[in-house]
Amino acid sequence: MNRRGEHDVIVVGGGPVGATLALALARDGFDVALVEAREPSFGARDAALDPRVVALAPDATALLREFGAWPLPFPERVGTYRHMCVWDAAAPGELHVDAAERGEAALGWIVENRHLQHGAWSAFADRVTVVCPAEAVAVESGAAPAGATDVAGADPVASRAVLELADGRRLRARVLAVAEGADSPLRTRLGIGFTGRDYAQRAVVAHVATERPHQDTAWQRFVPGGPLALLPLADGRSSVVWSLPSAEAERVLALDDAAFRAELGAASDFRLGPIVASSPRAAFPLRLREASRYVEGRCVLVGDAAHVVHPLAGQGVNLGLRDVACLRRVLAEARRRGADIGAAHILRRYARERRSENALAAHAFDLIERTFSPGSLPLAALRGAALTAAGRFGPLRRLLVDAAAGRL
């Protein structure tokens, strides 16, 4: 940072996506500041597992590896899934996917949220200016003519985005990336709205031990109320993500441990035998959100600040990391051409590419949720047949394998 508090890029939000963006751009030679409201707590090597986990696809781990954030600080805590099994409680038929079909070692990895964040923060070294704890209270989005260049004297200070902090500091940058998450205050301050819907569901999460091993398999069953996933953890347990109507989720949260294990075992069809132990439970609301636009002046939305999808496919963080890869490429190309990295046409290039893929993914997951929701029970026989057909039809099966491994 120079004496005027200026940077090439300011990233607001130090979660897994924001921290990875800051690291990626800093490793590419940009002057980057990361602003985060709270000091992160990563936990010790033997700390209890974070109840929130993500299913990382191979392209996501490749990006993390490129910038020194993978393998993670405690690699023994990372679960691997090599197989996936999907079936429907209301109809016969199921789908099996195997990484070996594409000659891969894994379809993906199950990682704790805070552990993923830890990986990026531990790789910052002195590359990223970390401003934490710091609350962003105001933003000026800045502007730049579409053809602006980075030639000395051609890009005035007035064209920078300006971030004001609660302590009175004002930071300036050619680009300000908003990665605060689904309820981003800066997105609101920028006047960017969103469309979507509330699923009137909550995802109940916990870690469980089962009678039989998880077999490095991600198990997903569509049950009345919503999908249930059991994801393989490195210590032999499984991470549960159980989507339920809000009132039903409250009931499940209130069960004693024995009753919870019994209901969960029945809901999972006892594929892994009885549930023999369970961690404390938590829950979070399920929503579909798409920002009305990704760019305002020199400010750009990334990750959940731009898009929130149903967790049934475990793709939320993967989509965010693809935002990171795209923005990194767009900014690097602009710099090579001597262009102003915050020019309108530069940031619109990122927005066009990512809005297209993110919208397609969001609506695909929404369609799956609607198709397998309790209100679509008359389609149950067709759903079961569709799962069976998808597993047997070669081209479609290959497409599903690619999707499971994050290649789409």
User: Which amino acid is located at 360 in the chain?
Assistant: L
Q: How far apart are CA 137 and CA 157, in angstroms?
A: 20
In this structure, the answer to whether residues 41 and 133 fall within a common structural domain is yes
Q: Are residues 255 and 324 in the same domain?
A: no
* Domain count across the chain: 2
pLDDT at 307 over 60: yes
CATH value at residue 185: 3.50.50.60
Q: To the nearest 5 percent, what fractions of the chain are helix, strand and coil?
A: 35, 30, 35
- Whether residue 359 is predicted with pLDDT greater than 90 in this model: the reply is no
Q: Are 134 and 269 in the same domain? A: no
Round to the nearest angstrom and report the end-to-end CA distance of the chain.
38
User: Do 272 and 331 reside in the same domain of the chain?
Assistant: no
Q: What is the DSSP track for 32-47?
A: EEEE-SS------TTS
Structure tokens at 229: 């996933």
Strands 295-296 and 128-131: unpaired
Q: Tokens in use for 183?
A: 């309820």
CA separation for the pair 405, 384 (Å, rounded): 23
Tell me: do 35 and 132 sit in the same domain: yes
Q: Are residues 148 and 10 in the same domain?
A: yes
Q: Answer yes or no: do 161 and 273 share one domain.
A: no
What is the residue range of 32's domain? 6-48+118-194+287-366
More confident residue, 386 or 184: 184
Residues 281 and 215 in one domain: yes
Sort residue 30 into left (φ over 0), alpha (ψ -120 to 50) or beta.
beta
Q: Are residues 205 and 343 in the same domain?
A: no
Count of residues for the chain? Answer: 408
Q: What is the pLDDT of residues 191-224, one digit of tens each?
A: 999 998 888 899 999 999 999 999 999 999 988 8
- Same domain? 298 vs 331: yes
What is the tens place of the pLDDT at every residue in 63-108?
999 989 999 999 999 999 999 998 888 777 788 888 887 778 899 9
